[in-house]
Amino acid sequence: MIPKEIEMDYVRVIDKAELPQNKMIIVVVDGKEVLLANVDDSYYAIINKCTHAGGSLAQGVLEGSIVTCPRHGARFDVKTGKAVGEAKIGFIKMKVKDEESCMVKVEGTDIMVGIP
Ligand code: FES
């Protein structure tokens, strides 16, 4: 079987210098908005559209590898896309689906993102 990484097209999105440690940025890959995060100089990418109601995750808060959606507080791990916290509206809590994660690779100072 061919490793998944080889089947994927990567797109150069930014230079490493454009994304300081523990910050996020929105990049567009293949027409999709992707949240790219630098967590302690490792890079991770997930789709930027919150699985709850489409909030822009990159407008939220990044603590370690956990991003909190600015709309209703759902939390996702940018390393995996896994949902780790529910959305909350008033007193109502709602489970949310995991976010789609994207492959990231670094070549020299170029950060590349791949979408399967
Ligand atoms: S849109 Fe993200 S928590 Fe509701």
Domain ranges of the chain: 20-115
pLDDT for residue 1 is more than 90:
no
Count of H-run helices and E-run strands, the chain? 1, 12
Give the residue carrying structure tokens 């407008």. 59
d(CA 109, CA 98): 30
What's the confidence (pLDDT) of residue 115? Answer: 72
Kindly state the helix (H) or strand (E) to which residue 6 belongs, with its residue range.
Answer: helix 4-7
**Ligand 1 lined by 81 (C-beta under 6 Å):** no
**Ligand 1 lined by 57 (C-beta under 6 Å):** no
Residue 2 CA to ligand 1 centre (angstroms): 36
Segment 3-48, tens digit of pLDDT = 554 567 899 999 999 999 999 999 999 999 999 999 999 999 999 9
Q: Are 60 and 17 within 8 A, CB to CB?
A: no
pLDDT for residue 72 is more than 70:
yes
What's the confidence (pLDDT) of residue 3? Answer: 54
pLDDT for residue 51 is more than 70:
yes
Tell me the CATH number of domain 20-115, given options 3.40.50.720, 2.102.10.10, 1.10.730.10, 3.40.630.30.
Answer: 2.102.10.10
pLDDT for residue 2 is more than 60:
no
Segment 77-115, tens digit of pLDDT = 999 999 999 999 999 999 999 999 999 999 999 999 997
Ligand 1 mutation target, pool 72, 97, 98, most atoms within 8 A of CB: 72
What's the confidence (pLDDT) of residue 8? Answer: 78
Give the position, in ligand 1's atom list, of the atom nearest the Cα of 50.
Answer: 2
**Ligand 1 lined by 72 (C-beta under 6 Å):** yes
pLDDT for residue 63 is more than 70:
yes
